[in-house]
C-alpha cells in the first residue's frame, strides 16, 4: 500500500488528550491551593511570627541598659528602642526623668546628666533617663502615649523647658510650612499642628500604624539603626557591593558620649550665642503648653505620681527688657501647677558659666540642679527621700 493510499485516521499525529479529572480547574497545573484549614493555620503562624519576632530580637540584639543608660543620640527617632529601654530599665521602685534634650543631657555624657547626679547624690541607682533629645512637648505627648506604657503606675519627673514657647515656630502655632522635630510623634490627623503639612495620607496612616503595631515599629527600628534611616532599596542602591545581612550587626550604639559636633563650653565663651529677646507665646495660646498639660493628665490617668521641674532656663541670656515677660510666663506655669495640685519646683538660675546655651546646663550645672531638688521639701515628699 502506498503512502498516499493509507487510510486517514481521525486525530492521528496529534498528542493524546489527557482525560480531565473530576473537579479539575483548567490551566491550574502549577497552582498550589490551600484548604480553608490550611489558610487559617498560615494566618495563625504569620500572626505568631509578627508577635514573637520583636520579642526574640530583644534577646539577640545588644543594648546598654545600665544605670546611666539613655537612648543613643543617633537613634533619637527610633521610638521602638525607647520603648525597649524603658521596659529594661524602669520599674515602680524607680523614678523616670522625662523631657527633652535638657533632661536627656545634650552637652554632657550619660554620666553627667540630671538622672545620674540625682542617683549619685542620693546614694542610689533609682533615677532613670527617660528623655529623648529634641522632643518638644507636643511630641512628648505622643511619645508617652504610644511608647511610655512601661512607665505606668510609677513616679515620673517631667521637665518643662520654657524654650518651646520663645516664638510661634518653636511653639508650632505658626502656620508657615516647616518640618518640626520628631514629626512622627505629632498627631497625624487632628490638624492641630498646622505647620506640619505632610500631604500623603498613606504616609500619615503608616506612621499611625507604627505606633500601634509593634512589628511595624520593629521594622522601622531596623531601618533607622542599620540602614541609615533609608529603605532597603535606597540603601542597596547606595551600597551596591554591601550585604544587607552584614549591615545588621546586632549591636546598638552607646548612649554614653556627647552628640557629634557638640562643643560643651559656656555660652558666654561661644561665638554662636549672645543676648536674646524672645517673642514669648502667651500661655493661653500655646500649643506646647497645652500638650504639656495633657501629658500630665495622661500620666495621672495611668496611675503615675508626677513631679514637674521647671527650667533651668538661662535668664542671664535674656535681655533686661524681656526678663519680666519671662517671669510672668513662669508665674503662669506655677499657678496652673498649684491649682491642679501638681508638685513642682522652679529651678533657681545657675551661674552663667554653667549654661551651654539658653536652656542646657553643662555637667556642673546638672550637679547643682540635683542639689537643689534634693533639698526641696516637695521633691523629697514626692521621691520619698530623707
pLDDT along the chain (386 residues), means of 10: 54 55 56 76 74 88 94 96 97 97 98 98 96 97 97 98 96 84 85 71 81 90 93 90 92 93 93 93 96 98 98 95 94 98 98 97 98 97 86
The whole-number pLDDT of residue 386 equals 63
The whole-number pLDDT of residue 194 equals 75
pTM score of the predicted model: 0.86
Q: Kindly report the number of other CB atoms within 10 A of residue 86's CB atom.
A: 19
Is position 18 within any domain? no
How many CA atoms lie less than 13 Å away from 286 in the CB half-sphere?
A: 27
Is position 40 within any domain? no
Query: Residue 75 is part of which domain span?
Result: 46-383
Q: Of 217, 40, 88, 70, nearest to 132 (Cα)?
A: 70
Is position 26 within any domain? no
Check which CATH number belongs to the domain holding 364 and give it. Answer: 3.40.50.1110
Is position 37 within any domain? no
The whole-number pLDDT of residue 41 equals 77
Tell me the per-residue pLDDT of 218-236, one tens digit each, with 9 for 90 and over.
999 999 999 998 988 899 9
Is position 5 within any domain? no
Is position 41 within any domain? no
The whole-number pLDDT of residue 136 equals 96
- Total tally of structural domains belonging to the chain: 1
Is position 169 within any domain? yes
Is position 119 within any domain? yes
DSSP secondary structure letter of residue 345: E
Amino acid at each position: 500500500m502506498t503512502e498516499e493510499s493509507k487510510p486517514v485516521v481521525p486525530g492521528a499525529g496529534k498528542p493524546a488528550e489527557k482525560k480531565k479529572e473530576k473537579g479539575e480547574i483548567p490551566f491550574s497545573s502549577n497552582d498550589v491551593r490551600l484548604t480553608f484549614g490550611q489558610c487559617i493555620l498560615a494566618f495563625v503562624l504569620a500572626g505568631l511570627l509578627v508577635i514573637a519576632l520583636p520579642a526574640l530580637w530583644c534577646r539577640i540584639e545588644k543594648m546598654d541598659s545600665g544605670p546611666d543608660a539613655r537612648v543613643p543620640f543617633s537613634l533619637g527617632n527610633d521610638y521602638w528602642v525607647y520603648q525597649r529601654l524603658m521596659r529594661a530599665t524602669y520599674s515602680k521602685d524607680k523614678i523616670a526623668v522625662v523631657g527633652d534634650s535638657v533632661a536627656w543631657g545634650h552637652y554632657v555624657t550619660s554620666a553627667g546628666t540630671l538622672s545620674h547626679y540625682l542617683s549619685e547624690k542620693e546614694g542610689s541607682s533609682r533615677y532613670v533617663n527617660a528623655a529623648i533629645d529634641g522632643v518638644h512637648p507636643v511630641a512628648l505627648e505622643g511619645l508617652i502615649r504610644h511608647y511610655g506604657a512601661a512607665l505606668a503606675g510609677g513616679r515620673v519627673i517631667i521637665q518643662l523647658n520654657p524654650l518651646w514657647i520663645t516664638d510661634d515656630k518653636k511653639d508650632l502655632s505658626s502656620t508657615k510650612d516647616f518640618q518640626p522635630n520628631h514629626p512622627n510623634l505629632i498627631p497625624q490627623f487632628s490638624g492641630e499642628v498646622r505647620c506640619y503639612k505632610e500631604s500623603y495620607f498613606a504616609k500619615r496612616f503608616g506612621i499611625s500604624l507604627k505606633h500601634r503595631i509593634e512589628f511595624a515599629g520593629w521594622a522601622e527600628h531596623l531601618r533607622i539603626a542599620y540602614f541609615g534611616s533609608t529603605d532597603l532599596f535606597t540603601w542597596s542602591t547606595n551600597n551596591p557591593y554591601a550585604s544587607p545581612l552584614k549591615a545588621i550587626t546586632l549591636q546598638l550604639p552607646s548612649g554614653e558620649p556627647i552628640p557629634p559636633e557638640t562643643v560643651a563650653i559656656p555660652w558666654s565663651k561661644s561665638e554662636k550665642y549672645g543676648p536674646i529677646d524672645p517673642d514669648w507665646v502667651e500661655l493661653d495660646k500655646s500649643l506646647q503648653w497645652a500638650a504639656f498639660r495633657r501629658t500630665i493628665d495622661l500620666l495621672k490617668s495611668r496611675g503615675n505620681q508626677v513631679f514637674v521641674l521647671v527650667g533651668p532656663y538661662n535668664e542671664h541670656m535674656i535681655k533686661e527688657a524681656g526678663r519680666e515677660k519671662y517671669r510672668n510666663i513662669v508665674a503662669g506655669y506655677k499657678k496652673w501647677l498649684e491649682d491642679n495640685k501638681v508638685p513642682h519646683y522652679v529651678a533657681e538660675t545657675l551661674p552663667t558659666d554653667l549654661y551651654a546655651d539658653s536652656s542646657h546646663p553643662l555637667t556642673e550645672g546638672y550637679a547643682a540642679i540635683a542639689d537643689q531638688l534634693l533639698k526641696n521639701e516637695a521633691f523629697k515628699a514626692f521621691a520619698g527621700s530623707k
